[in-house]
A and B are shown apart, each in its own frame.
Chain A
Amino acid sequence: MMNRINSAWLKELFNNSGDVIVRPIKINQNGITVHLFCVDGLINQSLFDEAVFRSLKFDPYLSGCMTERAMMDYLLEGGTYHVFTKEEADYQLLLKYVLSGMVALIFDTEEKAIVYDIRMFEKRSIQEPSEENVMKGSKESFIEVMRMNTALIRRRIRSEHLVVETLSAGRISKTDIALIYINGIADSATVNKIRTIINEIDIDNISTPAFIEEFLVENKHSIFPQIMYTQRPDRVAANLSDGRVALVVDGIPFAYLLPCQLPMLMQSPDDYANHFFIGSSLRIIRYMSMIVTLFLPAFYIAATTYQVQMLPVQLALSTQAAKQNVPFSSASEVLGLLISFEILIEAGLRLPKAVGTAMSILGGLVVGQSAVAANLISPAVVVIVALAGISGFIMPNQDLSSGIRLSRFLLTVLAAVAGFFGLAIGLIILITHLCSLNNYGIAYISPFVDVEERNIRDTIFRFPIKYFQKRKSMQSERRDRL
């Protein structure tokens, strides 16, 4: 009984669940009764009444069916006015379908069910991306419904080669995951590897993005993001065309892109929406900002406590003048302010928007200014930390921004301990770590380590589109057009 589809078993299984409906429907005078099996709140009731229930009650042909099998065959061949109809004999799949919002008609004698996809639940409408907004370009972003998200991608790639495989993960949650790639372009080894990883995920629930990210990244101890997420369907479409693989997880309003390399995380859709000179300039600013946010606080400490000769004369003198009467060391000042900055960010995220703005003003301006006036910190340090902080937020990817912010602390501590020597050691560690990262067979910092010149054309500079006639060799099986 346990492994067969049966209404009595289902009633027993969901005895305590008020939202799960297992209701008998008498079809005709021949004594055939089917059971409706669905979850209240997940189905489109009016569509069910119109398309299925009406047929069941009033279709004269059904009244003439003498067996459940005959009735099932008729329903599957168009007896109900609904397109998405299928027969299901596997009780596990049946549970999965119904619990995800489909409706099933249970035929006890046949121990089978007919499943109708009449899902309808409350969902957000498609809105502008909150994190990746662009001036020129699409304003659509993903929502929490996987099928809607795959449809947004399919709308942009109208090719028969686009594959949307539906997988599932989470023992209890049974979360749907769409594995999307373009057949013939995406590297099949990468696709197989990702599919295997997802199939082997053994956890109860996929409730937050980190649950799936941690399974997919290869170097789990690295603070640098090795999987890229995006809210934008157009960006997913572009990366699929480049040979990457996308993952859309039900309940998560963005898509993952794999394999991911560092230069990808430094790119913004705006780069391609503008003239290539403007796009390249924006990228250069981003790379410069990365250097500033990583090294500026550490450089300041090293230069003001160990190697003063690194500062130009006038800068050294003005820094010295600003530092007079401040009781703390430069390292304490910078580290203290960096931590305060992080606290402000964290507090701003947790508070309601209106309170958050007021708190930012209070924390950033009032406290900062008062601290300078009270000679607790020097104005130079405020400028350094503010500049480093703002530069950090220029990164288009927030995961990368967080990684860089954490690395900044490491470099700052090393500079506080050993000046430029420490900073150099930190830099070596950082570069070595980045070089050691490998993402689905591709070096994390490629194409900077690539020997092929053409792969560099879309990194720090954004070359004109005419130079992108062929795909990069790293992630795609095929470089020319399909």
Chain B
Amino acid sequence: MKKLIILLFPILICGCSHDMNRREIDEINLVHVIGIDFSDGEYVITALYSGEKGADTEKGSAGQEVTSKGSGATPYAAFQNFRLKDKKTVSIANTGFFLLGEGAAKRGLDICIDFLSRDETVKMESLLFVTKDMDASEFIAQSLEKGQIIHEDMKAVEQKQEELVTRNDNTLVNVLNELENDITIGIIPYLVAEEGSFLLQGYAVFENNILADYLDMETSSGVNFIKDIIRAYPIYLDDNVGLSISYSKSHIKSEIQDNSIRIVIKLDFETMIKEINIREDIFTFEELNRLTDMQNDYIIEIMKKATDYSKNTGRDILQIARLIQNQHTRKWSEYEYNWKDKISEIEYEFNVNSQITKSFILN
């Protein structure tokens, strides 16, 4: 019996391996970036991967990245079309970035990424970006023309994002989670191509999973402050003193009185002085107090931009609905059906405390 098992074991293993897609790594096109667009009535998938010489920069990276396209009635059909047309087996297992063209974003975020959520190889921590005012394919093509190595530039964008915020909310898994909540508004960072690099300027706002608007940089930062994901942020006071936030902690509390919602945003942060362009001594108790008040006002202004946008447009970009749901469960059932109207009635109160911790004076 033992010998029979020993004999059968390799056969079983070999049998199992038949359904395992055995491919050598050099026989696969590892897609770095995928662009999803909608143009001329069909979806277009643009895949970017390394050419024959690989992605080794020492072997000459210029022109190494190549693109391949596929089109179809749905994003999945376009993806299959692209796979069929490509010379090698295609793998999106190592795809780190998905770019959503404006056209596709306006057709619906859920439609664009549904096929990705059902692929067992896709990385759930891949990042999703919207390409502002252009298609992803155009965005990729223009960058390639400028000689950019797109996957490296995208990696740089990811690093920049990590420098500014404590977590990336635009990962595929987060976005898929957000899609399940149809009351709050989804926000995904958008990219702008500029001078041979990519810039993160702010958030693209999705209403009912359809691209509705773009937030400017300060409003987006206000959202980050309120969501408590700020890691670093520069503050410029009257062009004379530059500071940088080294610590930030926010806490949001909701209060309901007489059917009106009041949101108290408490923010504590610390800054370090980075630049002084005046001759007067600012390291006096009074001056530092004055600077502290100024930086508080500066941050309140930024946060107000986010809350004002939410009130003016009725879009819950700050995810207040979730807060009310958790903190006032009974009341939420009353607001649930007219939440969009209720957003504009919300009152915001800011309670900001800060201190300047380090001066970095060497002499």
Q: Mark A303-323, 1 if CB is under 8 A from B, else 0.
A: 011111101010011111111
User: Is A164 an interface residue when CB atoms closer than 8 A count as contact?
Assistant: no
- The answer for the CA separation of A425 and B121 in the assembled complex, in Å, is 21
A306 touches B30 (CB 8 A): no
A317 closest partner in B (C-beta):
B55
User: Is B17 an interface residue when CB atoms closer than 8 A count as contact?
Assistant: yes
B123 closest partner in A (C-beta):
A309
- Indicate which residue in B21, B23, B55 contacts A318 across the interface (CB closer than 8 Å): B55
Residues of B within 8 A of A422 (CB): 13, 17
Known: A317-B54, A320-B55. A330 touches B94 (CB 8 A): no
Residues of B within 8 A of A329 (CB): 24
User: Is A326 an interface residue when CB atoms closer than 8 A count as contact?
Assistant: yes
User: Is B8 an interface residue when CB atoms closer than 8 A count as contact?
Assistant: no
A421 touches B20 (CB 8 A): yes
Residues of B within 8 A of A319 (CB): 25
A420 closest partner in B (C-beta):
B20
- The answer for the CA separation of A108 and B130 in the assembled complex, in Å, is 110
Residues of B within 8 A of A317 (CB): 30, 32, 50, 54-56, 94
- Indicate which residue in B17, B20, B30, B123 contacts A320 across the interface (CB closer than 8 Å): B30
Residues of A within 8 A of B54 (CB): 317-318, 320-322, 324
Residues of B within 8 A of A425 (CB): 13
User: Is A418 an interface residue when CB atoms closer than 8 A count as contact?
Assistant: yes
- The answer for the CA separation of A305 and B55 in the assembled complex, in Å, is 19
Residues of A within 8 A of B94 (CB): 308-309, 311, 313, 316-317
Residues of B within 8 A of A308 (CB): 23, 25, 28, 30, 91, 93-94
B122 closest partner in A (C-beta):
A309
Name the residue in A307, A418, A421 with the highest tally of chain B Cβ atoms < 10 Å from its Cβ.
Answer: A418
- Indicate which residue in B28, B59, B96 contacts A313 across the interface (CB closer than 8 Å): B96
User: Is A170 an interface residue when CB atoms closer than 8 A count as contact?
Assistant: no
B22 touches A309 (CB 8 A): no
Known: A317-B50, A321-B54, A321-B55. A418 touches B24 (CB 8 A): no
B59 touches A306 (CB 8 A): no
- The answer for the CA separation of A316 and B24 in the assembled complex, in Å, is 12
B17 touches A304 (CB 8 A): no
User: Is B14 an interface residue when CB atoms closer than 8 A count as contact?
Assistant: yes
A309 touches B25 (CB 8 A): no
What's the least CB distance linking A250 to chain B, in Å? 39
- The answer for the CA separation of A306 and B308 in the assembled complex, in Å, is 52
A304 touches B25 (CB 8 A): yes
B24 touches A309 (CB 8 A): no
User: Is A56 an interface residue when CB atoms closer than 8 A count as contact?
Assistant: no
Known: A308-B30, A313-B32, A330-B25. A318 touches B56 (CB 8 A): yes
User: Is B41 an interface residue when CB atoms closer than 8 A count as contact?
Assistant: no
What total of chain B residues lie within 8 Å of the partner, measured CB to CB? Answer: 29
B16 touches A418 (CB 8 A): yes
- The answer for the CA separation of A380 and B56 in the assembled complex, in Å, is 13
Residues of A within 8 A of B30 (CB): 308, 313, 316-317, 320
User: Is A335 an interface residue when CB atoms closer than 8 A count as contact?
Assistant: no
- The answer for the CA separation of A189 and B220 in the assembled complex, in Å, is 76
B23 touches A321 (CB 8 A): no
Q: How large is the interface on A (under 10, 10 to 19, 20 to 34, 35 or more residues)?
A: 20 to 34
What's the least CB distance linking B285 to chain A, in Å? 47
User: Is A269 an interface residue when CB atoms closer than 8 A count as contact?
Assistant: no
Residues of B within 8 A of A338 (CB): none
What's the least CB distance linking B267 to chain A, in Å? 36
What's the least CB distance linking B128 to chain A, in Å? 16
Q: Mark A373-389, 1 if CB is under 8 A from B, else 0.
A: 00000000000000000
Q: Mark A410-453, 1 if CB is under 8 A from B, else 0.
A: 00001001110110010000000000000000000000000000
Name the residue in B21, B25, B54 with the highest tally of chain A Cβ atoms < 10 Å from its Cβ.
Answer: B25
- Indicate which residue in A313, A326, A421 contacts B26 across the interface (CB closer than 8 Å): A326
Residues of A within 8 A of B20 (CB): 306, 418-419, 421
- The answer for the CA separation of A308 and B24 in the assembled complex, in Å, is 9
A304 touches B24 (CB 8 A): yes
Interface of A is mostly: helix
B121 touches A324 (CB 8 A): no
B56 touches A421 (CB 8 A): no
- The answer for the CA separation of A61 and B196 in the assembled complex, in Å, is 115
Q: Mark B36-75, 1 if CB is under 8 A from A, else 0.
A: 0000000000000010111110010000000000000000
- The answer for the CA separation of A274 and B32 in the assembled complex, in Å, is 49
A316 touches B25 (CB 8 A): yes
- The answer for the CA separation of A417 and B9 in the assembled complex, in Å, is 12
Residues of A within 8 A of B25 (CB): 304-305, 308, 316, 319-320, 323, 330
- The answer for the CA separation of A206 and B24 in the assembled complex, in Å, is 51
B18 closest partner in A (C-beta):
A418
Residues of A within 8 A of B123 (CB): 309
- Indicate which residue in A305, A313, A322, A417 contacts B13 across the interface (CB closer than 8 Å): A417
- Indicate which residue in B10, B16, B23, B56 contacts A305 across the interface (CB closer than 8 Å): B23
Known: A309-B94, A417-B13, A425-B13. A324 touches B22 (CB 8 A): no
What's the least CB distance linking A7 to chain B, in Å? 59
A414 touches B50 (CB 8 A): no
Residues of B within 8 A of A309 (CB): 91, 93-94, 121, 123
- The answer for the CA separation of A313 and B52 in the assembled complex, in Å, is 17
- Indicate which residue in B10, B24, B56 contacts A321 across the interface (CB closer than 8 Å): B56
- The answer for the CA separation of A418 and B53 in the assembled complex, in Å, is 28
B17 touches A418 (CB 8 A): yes
Residues of B within 8 A of A419 (CB): 17, 20, 22
- The answer for the CA separation of A318 and B22 in the assembled complex, in Å, is 20
Q: Mark A464-482, 1 if CB is under 8 A from B, else 0.
A: 0000000000000000000
Known: A317-B55, A320-B26, A320-B55. A306 touches B21 (CB 8 A): yes
Residues of B within 8 A of A305 (CB): 22-25
Residues of A within 8 A of B22 (CB): 305-306, 419
B13 touches A414 (CB 8 A): yes
B10 closest partner in A (C-beta):
A417
What's the least CB distance linking A316 to chain B, in Å? 5
B151 closest partner in A (C-beta):
A313
Q: Mark B69-104, 1 if CB is under 8 A from A, else 0.
A: 000000000000000000000010110100000000
Q: Give the 8 A-B CB pairs with smallest separation, nearest first.
A: A321-B54, A309-B93, A317-B55, A321-B56, A304-B25, A418-B17, A323-B26, A313-B94
- Mark A residues whose CB is within 8 Å of B: 304-309, 311, 313, 316-324, 326, 329-330, 414, 417-419, 421-422, 425
28 CB contacts below 8 A, A to B, read: A306-B20, A306-B22, A308-B23, A308-B25, A308-B93, A313-B94, A313-B151, A316-B30, A317-B30, A317-B54, A317-B56, A318-B55, A320-B28, A320-B30, A320-B50, A321-B50, A321-B55, A321-B56, A322-B54, A322-B56, A324-B26, A324-B54, A414-B13, A417-B14, A418-B13, A419-B17, A421-B17, A422-B13
